Chain A
Amino acid sequence: MLSNVVPSVFNGLVLGAFYAFVAIGLSLIMNLTGTINLAHGSFLTLAGYLAFTLVSKGTSFWFALLLAPLLTVVVGVVVERLLIVPLYKRDPIFSLLLTFGLSLIAEEVYRLIWGPNGVPFSAPGVLGGGISLGFMQFPTLRLFIAGVLAAAMVALALFLWRTRFGLRLRAAIQDTEMISAMGTNTQLLYMVNFALGMALAGLAGVLASGLLGLSPTMGNALLMPAFVVAIIGGMGSLFGSIVGGLLVGLAISVTTLFVPAANEIIMYILMAVVLLIRPRGLFGTEGLFG
């Protein structure tokens, strides 16, 4: 029994970490600019495909793991500057629809370039196999992914809580008008913030493609759980996203073991229960969002 439950709980936590990762990127963008980025999944997929292409052109996996997210950041920032910036002052429905249109375009473009079906993209041999922890085997790839995600989250937290720019960013999320009145360059804040979201999506994209299989719709499959995680954790709370992500991952893995048919519904049930008890989510900040 234990040998069955422990790995699946671990797998659930890794999956949950992915959700949390995507949710944090979404939350950053949503909190600062009011943009619900429906193209977030498309950028995630893009990073996966870029890494795939880089590796198939002969670069090492490690280099691709670094370069593909960076390229995604560049593409993302260009899209933000050209298309999304003009919408920041308008009703949020417009940026929602614009990113929706972009995701439709992206999905088709990926199909054209990389084909409609999944492409094989696996991590290098070092990450294959498993590491024995005495009582059971842990797959190395998942351990590695968990390590990278955890390290990236720590890095993000350090950036937001330990640098001047991070401080400004967090202050701006609380009150955009005050920050611009203080003379901070809001456009720069928006751009860096979007870039951060893209970097998280990019990293998640490369890591996820080894685990979930790389296909044109991979990103969108992660998008909706990420929204749910953001709602459960409480919009505006990065810590909430992490807790929400792990909670959802755990719930999914446990449900898969015992009631496999309900493993997709479970997170919505969790969301409904959390909202009934805490209408603003687990760590939701009061009054930040209507």
Chain B
Amino acid sequence: MKNRQMQGYVGAIISVVLLAVLPLKMGSHSVLSLMHLDVSILSEMLLFGIAAMSVNLLLGYTGLMSFGNAAYFGLGAYGAGLSIHYLNVNFIEGALIGTAIAFIGGLLVGPFLLRRRGIYFALLTLAFGQVFYFIAYRANEFTGGEDGMSFSRPYFGFPGWHTDLHETTFYYLMLLVFAAVLLGFWLIVRSPFGRTLQAIRQNELRVRYLGLDSNKFIFVALLVSAGMAGLAGALYGLLIMFAAPLMLDWQQSGDFVMIMILGGAGTIWGPIVGSLIYVIGKDIVSTLTQTWQIYIGALFVICVLAFPRGLLGTLLYAIARRDVGAPVSEEEVAHKTWEHGGSAGTPTGAAVAAAEQKES
């Protein structure tokens, strides 16, 4: 156990150091420019990683098929954009307002989702997500409609002390935010609350018969997830200084789910690994060919059919297989059941639903 934990810490430190030195110049070229990459692509990777983590909390840990997290992501971007454009707020305020707007979005949609599970839950997240898409699309005097809205990036800091962020400092700020979110996520997953979420995924009926109102846990998980996605969206809006309806669209939600699966559902590091593959891969492919969408689609299809555990998930599973009997970490446990269908399709899931029905 201790040994495993040490490995985790070492891995975390190595990743952070690697991510920190990536944009630095080595001679006349940075590592990135050798790959024809821009430093903002790294920021995008981190932010998409956070968005995928927000899906992971619901899908990977709690077993809820959420297919609408782009709604919160987009609400975050619009929240930041609109408040900057109309209220002249600064960077930190914009990011916080965006997060808050997404959180409110979760508060509004959550009650509709609470009592539903499985594919019905997925369908409702999909449909309710589109509401915000059409609002942004239709309120064009206010949001710029289909074309989206551009806004400038305000200074970072406080009225007394501030600085303008250029792409590299922006990236380091994102690295800091990412590290904080990752740490927070890790703490949540290990906390009694997080353990209960994982128990809900495995057997919601038993959780209820241990005297816990599973709906309350699910609602809080939804709100945390919405807030995380909103934060990622707000910062993404500040990164590209733009907000558009497509950020709210279900296809964007699908990308987040896929990023999480690519890395490994129910693992702490999976979403960022998936984001690395997806964001960098997409960037490279889209400079090579116009028809990059085919390759992204093919990547999804292959991953689903051949690597359903994702990259990191497959690796962790292999390690867990190697030392059977050793205490299993939260990550691996979360992952294992996850793949076999969670509580959604099992008779106990249906039974909960039946019981719920009577209750409502």
Contacts and interface: CB of A to CB of B under 8 A. Distances in A.
The answer to whether any beta carbons of A and B sit under 8 Å apart in the complex is yes
Interface of A: 30, 34, 36, 38, 83, 86-87, 90-94, 96-98, 100-109, 111-112, 224, 227-228, 230-231, 235, 261-262, 264-265, 268, 271-272, 275, 279-280, 286-287, 289-290
Contact of B353 (A87, A231, A290): A290
B123 A265 contact: no
A279 B360 contact: yes
Most chain B CB within a 10 A radius of its CB, from A91, A227, A289 = A91
B123 A230 contact: yes
Contact of A268 (B130, B341, B349, B350): B130
A141 to B, nearest CB: 28
Nearest to B120: A289
Interface stretch (B85-93, B233-241, B297-305): B297-305
A93 B122 contact: yes
Given A93-B65, A271-B127, A275-B112, A289 B119 contact: yes
21 contacts: A36-B126, A87-B304, A90-B308, A91-B338, A91-B342, A92-B344, A96-B65, A98-B304, A101-B300, A104-B293, A106-B297, A108-B293, A224-B130, A227-B123, A235-B123, A286-B354, A289-B118, A290-B117, A290-B118, A290-B352, A290-B353
Contacts of B349: 290
B297 A287 contact: no
A82 B138 CA distance: 40
Contacts of B254: 38, 97, 100
A228 B127 contact: yes
A96 B294 contact: no
Contacts of B130: 224, 268
B120 A101 contact: no
A96 B122 contact: yes
B228 interface: no
A105 B354 contact: no
A148 B244 CA distance: 39
B123 A90 contact: no
A108 B297 contact: yes
B116 interface: yes
Given A83-B305, A279-B115, A286 B300 contact: no
A287 B354 contact: yes
B134 A265 contact: yes
Contacts of A92: 65, 118-119, 122, 341, 344-345
Contacts of B10: none
A94 B297 contact: no
B301 to A, nearest CB: 4
A125 to B, nearest CB: 35
B197 to A, nearest CB: 17
Interface string B110-142: 001001111111111011101100110110000
The main secondary structure of chain B at its interface with chain A is: helix
A110 B339 CA distance: 33
The main secondary structure of chain A at its interface with chain B is: helix
Contacts of A106: 297
Contacts of B166: none
Contacts of A101: 258, 296-301, 304
Most chain A CB within a 10 A radius of its CB, from B291, B301, B353 = B301
B33 to A, nearest CB: 29
A264 B119 contact: no
Contact of A289 (B112, B261, B301, B353): B353
Most chain A CB within a 10 A radius of its CB, from B67, B116, B123, B299 = B123
Given A105-B294, A265-B135, A97 B261 contact: yes
Nearest to A290: B117
A36 B123 contact: yes
Contacts of B339: 90-91
Contacts of B75: none
A261 B301 CA distance: 37
A212 B97 CA distance: 39
A83 B122 contact: no
Contacts of A111: 291
A228 B291 CA distance: 31
Given A101-B304, A108-B297, 8 more contacts: A93-B261, A100-B300, A104-B251, A108-B294, A231-B123, A268-B130, A289-B353, A290-B118
Interface in B281-307: 291, 293-294, 296-301, 304-305
